[in-house]
Amino acid sequence: MFKKIAILILVLGVFTVYGQDAAKTTPTPATNEDDAKYTVVSAMINQVIQTAEGLIVEYKIDRNFKTTYIPNKFFRDKIAVRIDENNTNISPQMSIVLKNSKPHRVKLYLATKLSNMTYRYADLITDATRKKFEMDELTIEF
């Protein structure tokens, strides 16, 4: 009999605590940041070209190769983050954070001690390529 009363008191106590928490939380008006939906998409990197203006990244999404240009100012503003891995066994990849289905941030995972055709340096670039680095928003095609 004592066990039944103890269980009943515990059950009522739990429901009372959670019931009070639910009553205290009132919905707040939604702001634009609260309405934002974030999604992460991963892509395999085929080639990275380091230039004085920034990075040219060739990546593969949905069996198609695409190219994006990431200027150096995006790295300074933390829109793009380059994570250098000491492990040479990793394959280069990038994670794209989408905010309301638009590219918001990008993380590049690259191996530092790897010398092959994936990583290249370009000292001279054309004016057309230089103009592609003049952007204010991150543009990544899907």
> Do residue 88 and residue 24 come from a single domain?
no
Give me the pLDDT at residue 30, please.
Answer: 44
Alpha-carbon span 26 to 37, nearest angstrom: 22
Same domain as 104, residue 65? yes
Residue 28's contacts (CB-CB under 8 Å, 6 or more residues apart) are 34
The domain tally of the chain equals 2
Q: In this structure, are 62 and 93 located in the same domain?
A: yes
Distance CA 93, CA 131 (A): 25
Q: Quick check: pTM over 0.85?
A: no
Q: Tell me, what's the pLDDT at 19? A: 54
Task: Identify the segments of the chain with pLDDT beneath 50.
Answer: 22-30
Question: Is the same domain home to 28 and 41?
Answer: no
Residue 125 belongs to a domain: yes
